[in-house]
Structure 1
Amino acid sequence: MLQSWSKLLDRVLIKITFCRTLPKKHGRKTRKDIENTIVSIRKALMEGNEHESKYLGVGADAIQYRMEKLSFSMDEILSVSTIKRIVKKHGLKVNKRERYIRVKSKKRYTILNPTQIDEMYQMDFVGPRFIKGYGAVSSLNLIDVVCNRVQIEQYDSKSRDNVIGFLIQYWRNNPIPRYLQVDNGMYFIGDFKYPRRFSRFIRFCLYVGVEVVFINPKSPWMNGSIENFNGWFDEKFWDKETFTSLEDMRAKSTHFVGQYNDLSAWKKRNKSLEQINPARILNNSLKIPLGKLPLTKGKIHFIRMVDNDGIISVRNETFEVGREFISEYVWATICLKKQTMEVFYRAKDQDTAVLIKKFEYKLSEVVKDLRLDIGKTS
């Protein structure tokens, strides 16, 4: 018995010794000309002076994208890990831009899970910032949370007229989403003097069949997609360029948006993203009564945190949902057709939200049906 164990041990020791003496396997050696190209592209991206690449950033995916544009074959375009190794080898690393860190709730604050292009947008104002010799300028930024396509426009004020005009122009050429998520800025939500009278922004969205989602106050991380883009806008565009006027900034922003959207599309080239169906575009011949928009049947959503008394505040009006939900996020939906407000909550161990409260939400104003001629299918 001892002899058998001795023989087995000898065989194991021989195998270990043999494996240690084998030469280490290395991956395929990178061609020197390819390595030099990666170094040159990285340096050009870091300098940011080339017109065709100045807004792309400096990451490995941007290097891959530039190599494809420079007609390198897919076999010649190296992996992200290999590009990072080459960048580190040549001392070309840079500090990473801070991204919005999402809280540990893992999106339990929302009941939406958009998966289609043009299903859900996020929108936000950046600014005001000041152009020397001109004055204050703000940028209205819009992003599709699924495909990361963006559209931006700059204005000299944060007004509802500018917001509505921006959306009309965009939705006459691009599909109208189901949801538009924003913060609680007065240009979006309106004033609270009359809680059940809605702003022209809300009325316009209802008029064209869009459900507005208002995030919890002072919680920009809930709008993570647009906030991350805002950081990119600051770093790659606002802080990098010199502007002389509003018109100058608008002209330069077109190139910035084009490069951002091209790179975003390239990053998602291997993902099979579906378009919202049906895709509706705002009817060009439609005359929208902006001066007197009616209330239209639809829904408005609010993400709110329950306070220490078990209460939430929606448009300066309080609703008791229960002390068992203190410090938790809930989702409140106002249905104008039914004139009710339903409150939903998703527990930590649940995949779906459940209805926890329902309130009457009577309106003094007549609520009209959604017009069928608002949009045309693309």
Structure 2
Amino acid sequence: MDIEEEERIKALNRYIKGDKPSIICRDAGKSEKWLFKWVNRFKTGEEEWYKSKSRAPKKHGRRTDKEMESTVVNVRNALMEGNEHESKYLGISADAIQYRLEKHGFSREEMPSVSTIKRIVKKHGLIVNKRERYKRVKSKKRYTILNPTRIDEMHQMDFVGPRFIKGYGAISSLNLIDVVSNQVHIEQYDTRSMDNIIGFLIRFWRNNAIPRYLQLDNGMYFIGDFKYPRRFCRFLRFCLYVGVEVVFINPKCPWMNGSIENFNGWFEAKFWDKEKFTSLEDMRAKSTHFVDQYNDLSAWKNKNKSLEHINPTRILNKSLEISQDKLPLTDGKIHFIRKVNNEGDISVLNEAFEVGKEFIDEYVWATICLKKQRIGVYYRAKDQDATILIKKFEYELKEEVKALRPEICKTL
């Protein structure tokens, strides 16, 4: 008998004699929970109640039976072949296999875990080398002051292409993604024009929530041509008109738009490069099926997460006509992620602003506030969680800034 067992027996004997539990526990240097654990064990009538029980699991982890293993292999092979209409764009991941197993009628309890599926795939030699993605920079997200956690808080948008169709010509795809829900919306065009972009957003936002932020690269079809200083292009005017804050990432830094870039890679591998198209209409028809499968899988992955929508949730008023050519300059904000150059400057809409040489090669966040006609530049140091305002500039505009019209949108 070891010392701990003797201690348990001694404590129990004192308890039976009527000593106060608090005194027994104080003398033993134990808690009352400890004391009553052994009192209750004694009351079971076990002969060796004072002995510790093994903590080893009584049952081994469940083993995947041969039938389920065979099903996993068959699903994986079907996904790899990509010939089934209902699963051709899902990819071949363990998540996709679980998704298909559920569609085949298996419950969560019946289907194997992700790690088990991976072991089965490896066992049967069904591993496929992943396509190398662009290398991400270890920035620790100090370049941004945003951390979206709600659905429709931030969307990212980008063009992919062009893709040349024999006998038709070049086609580009305009892709949009919600960074929290991972839901996407896409449309293909034969030109990358602001008319197409604005029309795309009008149609989408009349039936779907308008985000608070829309993050983009610096393509001229988004940011404008800088022909006239402090003049805003139609696309920016439209976003301000409907109450959206546009965020432009730093030039030549696609990793800052990670959500849409990851989707673009999937889009190219599973759809763009895989299918054969005869025309723009043919591509649009086929892309609808691709989007449905992608969004269904994304929703399935998120179904156990407690994701909330932004509040308020707004959509465009369907009865209101929006003229793309006569958009006023509306109160709002436009944001820019910029890297400070060797002169200590940043460029915002082709205009230089001196931030300071102490910030050379660092990323800063610049915000144009239309109503105040001012630019604020913010920075977060490596050892700091908070972002601080480091510079302010007057940003005088020659055009009147109108107030946001509430009737433009409808609150759900």
Deviations 1:285-340 (A, max 9, x none): 11212111100000000000000111111111100000110000000000000000
Structure 2 unaligned regions, length at least 5:
1-55
Q: Percent identity?
A: 79
Instruction: Answer yes or no: is 1:59 the counterpart of 2:93.
Output: yes
Structure 1 residue 101 displacement after superposition:
3.9
Deviations 1:77-129 (A, max 9, x none): 11000000000000000012334443222110000011100110000000111
2-side partners of 1:32 and 1:131: how far apart? 46
Instruction: Answer yes or no: is 1:333 the counterpart of 2:374.
Output: no
Deviations 1:232-268 (A, max 9, x none): 0000001111100000000000000000000011111
Tell me what 1:111 maps to. 145
* Secondary structure at the counterpart of residue 130 of structure 1: strand
1:170 maps to a residue whose letter is F
Q: Which has the higher contact order (CA 8 A, sep 6+)?
A: 1
1:63 maps to a residue whose letter is I
Tell me what 2:382 maps to. 348
Instruction: Answer yes or no: is 1:230 the counterpart of 2:250.
Output: no
Tell me which of 190, 200, 203 is aligned to 1:169. 203
Tell me what 2:108 maps to. 74
Tell me which of 202, 206, 209 is aligned to 2:236. 202
Maintained 8 Å contact 1:100/1:228: no
Instruction: Answer yes or no: is 1:359 the counterpart of 2:390.
Output: no
Tell me which of 325, 329, 344 is aligned to 1:291. 325
Structure 1 residue 28 displacement after superposition:
2.1
Deviations 1:138-183 (A, max 9, x none): 0000000011000000000000000000000000000100000000
Q: How does 1:263-274 map to 2 (within 5 A)?
A: 263-274=297-308
Structure 1 residue 26 displacement after superposition:
5.4
1-side partners of 2:157 and 2:65: how far apart? 45
2-side partners of 1:289 and 1:60: how far apart? 47
Structure 1 residue 195 displacement after superposition:
2.4
Tell me what 1:320 maps to. 354
1:148 maps to a residue whose letter is N
Instruction: Answer yes or no: is 1:137 the counterpart of 2:171.
Output: yes
Question: Aligned residue pairs: how many?
Answer: 355
Maintained 8 Å contact 1:211/1:301: yes
* Secondary structure at the counterpart of residue 139 of structure 1: strand
2-side partners of 1:75 and 1:288: how far apart? 51
1-side partners of 2:133 and 2:179: how far apart? 15
Maintained 8 Å contact 1:61/1:80: yes
Tell me which of 135, 149, 156 is aligned to 2:190. 156
Tell me what 2:83 maps to. 49
Tell me which of 336, 342, 365 is aligned to 1:308. 342
1-side partners of 2:378 and 2:358: how far apart? 13
* Secondary structure at the counterpart of residue 217 of structure 1: coil
The structure with the largest alpha-carbon Rg is 2
Maintained 8 Å contact 1:100/1:227: no
* Secondary structure at the counterpart of residue 73 of structure 2: helix
Tell me which of 356, 368, 372 is aligned to 2:402. 368
* Secondary structure at the counterpart of residue 229 of structure 1: helix
Maintained 8 Å contact 2:216/2:246: yes
1-side partners of 2:244 and 2:93: how far apart? 36
1:186 maps to a residue whose letter is M
2-side partners of 1:58 and 1:126: how far apart? 23
Tell me which of 90, 93, 99 is aligned to 2:124. 90
Structure 1 unaligned regions, length at least 5:
1-21
1-side partners of 2:135 and 2:97: how far apart? 25
What's the C-alpha RMSD, in Å, of the aligned pairs?
A: 1.1
Maintained 8 Å contact 2:195/2:324: no
Structure 1 residue 27 displacement after superposition:
3.1
- Name the stretch that deviates more: 94-103 or 294-303: 94-103
1:80 maps to a residue whose letter is V
* Secondary structure at the counterpart of residue 341 of structure 2: coil
2-side partners of 1:100 and 1:350: how far apart? 28
Maintained 8 Å contact 1:176/1:280: yes
Maintained 8 Å contact 1:156/1:246: yes
- Name the stretch that deviates more: 286-295 or 50-59: 286-295
* Secondary structure at the counterpart of residue 114 of structure 1: coil
1:223 maps to a residue whose letter is N
2-side partners of 1:253 and 1:351: how far apart? 42
* Secondary structure at the counterpart of residue 232 of structure 2: coil
2:281 maps to a residue whose letter is E
Tell me what 2:252 maps to. 218
